Amino acid sequence: MKILETQNAQLHHLKPHGALYNEVAKNSKIAEVIVIYKELHLNISILAPFKSMLANQAMDEDIPVIFEALGIETISLIYPSNHVLMRMP
Total number of domains in the chain = 1
User: What is the predicted pLDDT for the residue at 70?
Assistant: 60
20 is in which domain, residue-wise? 2-87
Looking at residues 37-47, what average pLDDT do you find? 81
User: What is the predicted pLDDT for the residue at 56?
Assistant: 92
Please report which confidence band the pLDDT of residue 79 belongs to, taking 50, 70 and 90 as the band edges: low
Please report which confidence band the pLDDT of residue 22 belongs to, taking 50, 70 and 90 as the band edges: confident
Listing DSSP states for 28-81 in one string gives HHHHHHHHGGGGG----EEEE-TT-HHHHHHHHTT--EEE----GGGTTEE--T
